[in-house]
Amino acid sequence: MNLTSQLKEGLAALGLDLSVAVQAKLLGYVALLKKWNRTYNLTAIRDESEMVTQHLLDSLAVLPAVQESALAGRRWADVGSGAGLPGIPLALARPDLAMTLIEAVEKKSAFQRQAKIELGLENIAVVSGRVEEAPGGLFDAVISRAFADLATFVDLAGHLLARNGRLYAMKGLAPEDELSRLPTGWAVLDCTRLNVPGLDAQRHLIVLERI
């Protein structure tokens, strides 16, 4: 199966109706990531088909699990964003989101800036620096993918949230031990199993909020 068909089928399985232009940009992101990966080792995944599954579809699987009210016109931050995951795929799929990518490693931020230019991502801002040093109170939602355990995520990124904002942690297996060790003042709003087309592994989205 070619990449275009793989992505189209995966999006259909997720119930996402994205335009041909957006799908082309998603695959353009994969091509750019593969190109940069030769020099900068941004991701351990080298095969483009695996990138479609483990990067694009894995990131986009969040959307069906998040309420529309948390998406439309909202300010999101992707912390420890790495190669821009899940932030760049989410920003491509939802141009109504204002997405800020926060990444401490400069070579990864450089890639994000290049992707912003080449993909015409006007709804993305790139911040090169440590998440705990970023200004607080600016975001309705903060998401992370394989960033840290939940307690560390709260400690480092909790201050970024505006009033009534939420943290979204993308995990593999449901992290029962981590859930039991949340800092005081935080609670689990939801723990949803995500179905990623083509991926034979568990994925969960943990939603946290202040209490």
CATH number of the structural domain spanning residue 189 = 3.40.50.150
| pLDDT value of residue 7 | 98
Residue 15 has pLDDT above 90, yes or no: yes
**Amino acid letter, residue 72:** A
Characterize the bridge pairing of strands 139-145 and 75-79: parallel
Can you give the residue range of the structural domain that contains 148?
3-210
> Within a 10 A sphere around the Cβ of 30, how many other Cβ atoms?
20
Give the pLDDT of residue 16: 97
Mean predicted lDDT score pLDDT of the chain: 96
Residue 41's pLDDT band (boundaries 50, 70, 90)?
Answer: confident
pLDDT of residue 147: 85
What pLDDT is recorded for position 49? 97
How distant, in Å, are the alpha carbons of 64, 94, 105, 123, 205 from that of 73?
17, 9, 28, 10, 21
pTM above 0.95, yes or no: yes
φ/ψ of residue 166, rounded to 5: -130, 150
Stretch 121-135: mean pLDDT: 97
* Neighbouring residues of 9: CB distance < 8 A, sequence distance ≥ 6: 1, 197
Residue 195 has pLDDT above 90, yes or no: yes
What confidence score (pLDDT) does residue 1 get?
83
Instruction: Provide the token pair at 89.
Output: 């795929």
* pLDDT for 34 beyond 90: yes
**What are the E-state strand segments in the chain?**
75-79, 98-103, 124-128, 139-145, 161-171, 186-194, 203-210
Question: Three-class SS of residue 60?
Answer: helix
Q: What is the pLDDT of residues 84-117, one digit of tens each?
A: 999 999 999 999 999 999 999 999 999 999 999 9
Q: Indicate the SS3 state at residue 153.
A: helix
- Distance (Å, rounded) from C-alpha 116 to C-alpha 29? 10
Q: Where residue 137 falls among pLDDT bands split at 50, 70, 90?
A: very high
Distance, CA of 105 to CA of 101 (rounded, Å): 12
Please state the rounded mean pLDDT for residues 62-66. Answer: 96
Of 163, 129, 158, 127, nearest in space to 144 by CA: 158
pLDDT number for residue 146: 82
Q: Tell me how many helices (H) and strands (E) the chain has.
A: 8, 7
102: phi then psi, degrees, rounded to nearest 5? -115, 120
Q: What are phi and psi of 170, to 5 degrees?
A: -90, 125
The pLDDT assigned to 25 comes to 98
For residues 155 and 202, what is the distance between their CA atoms, to the nearest angstrom?
A: 26
Q: In total, how many domains does the chain have?
A: 1
What 3-state DSSP class applies to 121? coil
What pLDDT sits at residue 120?
A: 97
pLDDT (tens digit, 9 = 90+) per residue, 141-187? 999 998 889 999 999 999 999 999 999 999 999 999 999 999 999 99
Q: Residue 23: its pLDDT value, please?
A: 98
